[in-house]
Structure 1
Amino acid sequence: EEIGMHFLHEMRNKQSITLNLETEKGREILKKLAANADVLIENAAPGQFDAWGIGYRQLSKANPRLIYCWVGQKGQWGPDKDRPGELEPTAQCACGFTHGTGFPKSFGGVPTRSGLWMCDHVGGTTAAMGIITALIYREQTSRKGQFIEATGAEAVIRINDYNWAWYGMDGSIRPRYGNWDLAINIYAVNPVVDGYLMVGGGHDRLWYRIWKTVGKDRPDIEELIVLDKDLRVVTNRVSHYAQVKTYTALCEWGKDNTRQEAEDKLLSEEVASGGVLFIDEVAEYAHFKYRGHVNVIDDALYGKVLYGTSPIFAEKTPARLKWIGRPIGYDNRDVYPRLLGYTKKDLNSLSKEGVI
């Protein structure tokens, strides 16, 4: 069975079984599995599991301690619940994120969705927090499970930061502004000789340190900015005119510096800065390698595979990688005999019937 690259990393430490819920036998097997489960997570179409008799209403009767989590993009109820195609890309567009990402129209830009499955990741993280909360509540208070719903689009709505403040105060819509920031100048990714460099200078101390750094190489550029009366007050620097002048000047300095040269010079003045790294550079980045965030697993099925490790360090509960995503159904012959007592003959029969 072929396995996608994304699947390898997202399904780490998980056992892989198959179960055809479109069959009556498949649904009966799920009921048996759920009878002793702590958590069930599903993302079928809204109402589908209820229609099959395996929704929270039905399963919680057999297992009152069950925590049942539905994940999707817009939810199981509401006017759009039955619209087709409510998947990750449409969720990014529906929540306001895509409109606010990318270069402005005047720069030739268009709304730009995240290259990563951001709604799935943010929505999934939200679901995990909800499940952990429900587990704690069950163990400490109720002794019973509950139904949880977490969606990708609505999770990103939550983190759309000051878009809501803008619109709530005067009805204005925060526009796209590319790598520039509408509230801070300087706070952007800037071109240099061999790529791009992030520079942050949102207050006077950092602002003048940036131009002091630039002035060591190009005093003419430092004077151009520092002597401009319109740039002396921090709130005046966020106008479009001010940002165009500022970043034009910084780019003029950047064209004579590599990422490392520019970063070293800025850091010598304690200015927040860092190069935009390619993935091959991340894999060899000394800091991440030292902390163990990029590693190689010698997997029994796939051989050596490069992966990003857990972002969490925990003294008492350290994360560990046992295996990466397994082929579909790889663990059928372990899970079903162990949890339901099925024999090899039972599994062969279910396989022939298309149940597993």
Structure 2
Amino acid sequence: MAGALEGVKVLDLTRVLAGPHCTMILADLGADVIKVEAPGGSDETRFWGPPFQNGVSAYYLCANRNKRSITVNLKTEEGREIIRTLAKDADVLIHNFKTGSMEKWQLDYETIKHINPRLIYCSITGFGETGPYKHLPGYDYIIQGMSGLMSITGSEESGPVKIGVAMVDILTGLYSVISIEAALYEREKSGLGQKMDMSLLDTAVSSLANVASNYLISGKVPRRLGNDHPNIVPYSKFKASDGDIIIAVGNDRQFADLCKVIGIPQIAKDERYRTNEARVENKLELTKILEDQLQLKTAAEWIAVFSEKNIPCGPIHTMDQVFEHPQVLARDMVVQVNHPEAGSVKLVGSPIKLSRTKAKIERHPPIAGEHTSEILQQAGFSLEEISQLKENNII
């Protein structure tokens, strides 16, 4: 069965994570993604490590499967003309160059749309293409700080802490996929492409969700709560006899069930703890009461009991435990791919589960320029022209 996006051609002029993560999702869904880099490879993640497997970066491998690779020197007019040629029958062009770069090269949307009015053109930058910060470079870590995410991550003792992965890059990639797919759908009605201006800062601010809403409604600047929830109690990490357990009680009935299971049913009737609003006000006292009881059993014992009683809970896994977990394995979230240089590599599977047009992993993350001749021949270049472009260091 063909992928859901089979027949969609994507020109991918992105590097590092936000853009490549976006285009990898499109590729997993069947799009023909052509990864464009400078000769020799210009995606910095190719060289980020360790770890490497046979010289191939684990970071690069995480976001570039299912793509074909072409190398083009965009600093030359001949190289830019190749991109214009490829854009003639492309459905999507996506880049993450600084604001103004594509205009300088005459590869901007206003230029390209005259070549292909149906083209969907996605720009990913740190701050977007408007506003006083539009010319500044944007990096996930910096955006986590500027957006307020770090101000609410960590504890009062730890100070501001960044999220353990480049989550703003990942979320921007996801929002970009949504925007591209929306534009593809709209094009079916209008016959026209359009441009999308995606910003890491916009994405990060959007991700503040209820914390942002709490501030906008109350005017109170939120403080770091560590593993606690600003609106719900008990919804945190607790200590059992041998380690930590997450308990995420979402309503008063679940709280009553929790109290009954751990042997303190009277606490659920106490006016200080009976309602969630009261529990939020008296969180410190309640936490002490709960942890005194939780010390009576191990984390695994409590998880077994709570799961049986439908009390939301869970362990805190390390990476080895994650990728040995039966649920993760049953959902095909670890896949094996053969790479011509790295050999057999393990990659994280796709979380997108469609019943008919399944997401597939059919291509290894490409070597820089691996498909240059193939792609150019498909675009109408002769073998002689391709050879000449190579001699002139255009490709």
User: TM-score normalized by structure 2?
Assistant: 0.81
Aligned partner of 2:3 in structure 1 is none
Question: Offset of 1:156 from its aligned partner?
Answer: 2.4
Aligned residue for 1:111? 160
Aligned-residue identity in percent: 27
Alignment of 1:135-284 (within 5 A): 135-140=184-189, 142-215=190-263, 222=264, 225-226=267-268, 228-239=270-281, 242-284=282-324
Q: Cα distance, 1:250 vs. partner?
A: 2.9
Q: Structure 2 CA distance, aligned partners of 1:311 and 1:162?
A: 25
The CA distance in 1 between the partners of 2:216 and 2:363, in whole Å, is 47
Q: Which amino acid aligns with 1:87?
A: Y
Moved more, 226-235 or 89-98: 226-235
Corresponding position: 1:66 with 2:119: yes
Per the TM alignment, residue 268 of structure 1 is displaced from its structure 2 partner at its CA by 2.5
Cα distance in 1, alignment partners of residues 306 and 62 from structure 2 = 36
Aligned-partner residue type, residue 150 of structure 2: T
Give the Å deviation of 1:124: 1.2
- Flag structure 2 segments of 5+ consecutive residues without an equivalent: 1-39, 41-54
**Number of positions where the alignment pairs a residue of Structure 1 with one of Structure 2:** 342
Q: What displacement does 1:291 show?
A: 2.5
> Which of 112, 126, 140 is residue 175 of structure 2 equivalent to?
126
- Superposition deviation, residue 149 in structure 1: 1.1
Structure 1 length normalisation: TM-score? Answer: 0.89
- Offset at residue 3 of structure 1 (A): 3.4
Tell me by how many angstroms 1:8 deviates.
0.7
CA-CA distance at 1:227 after TM superposition = 6.7
The structure 1 residue matched to 2:141, chosen from 82, 89, 108, is 89
Alpha-carbon distance, 1:74 to partner: 1.0
Give the greater-gyration-radius structure (CA).
1
Instruction: Please list every run of 5 or more consecutive structure 1 residues that lacks an aligned counterpart in the other structure.
Output: 216-221
Amino acid aligned to 2:148: G
8 Å CA contact retained: 2:109, 2:195: yes
Structure 1 position 333 matched with structure 2 position 373: yes
Change (3 A) 1:190 1:340: farther
Q: Does 1:37 align with 2:76?
A: no
Cα 1:195–1:303 change in 2 (3 A) is farther
Output the amino acid matched with 1:337. Q
Q: Given that residues 32 and 340 in structure 1 are in contact (C-alpha distance below 8 angstroms), is that contact kept between their aligned partners in structure 2?
A: no
Cross-structure match for 1:353: 392
2-side partners of 1:121 and 1:255: how far apart? Answer: 38
Partner-residue secondary structure (3-state), 2:291: helix
* Cα pair distance change 1:257/1:120, threshold 3 Å: same
CA distance in 2, matches of 1:180, 1:349: 62
- Quick one: structure 1 residues 237 and 318, their matched pair in 2 at CA, closer, same or farther if it must change by over 3 Å? same
Q: Matches of 2:315 and 2:211 in 1, distance apart?
A: 28
Q: What do residues 189-221 of structure 1 show as CA deviations (whole Å, max 9, x unaligned)?
A: 223355432111132211122122221xxxxxx
Alpha-carbon offset, residue 256 of structure 1: 4.4
RMSD over aligned Cα atoms: 2.1
Secondary structure class of the residue paired with 1:340? coil
Q: Which residue of 2 aligns with 1:219?
A: none
1:288 shift after superposition: 2.1
Q: CA offsets, 1:75-99, max 9 Å, x none?
A: 011101122x422211222222121
Residues 25-74 of structure 1, C-alpha deviation per residue, up to 9 Å, x if partnerless? 11111111111111100111101111111111111111111111101221
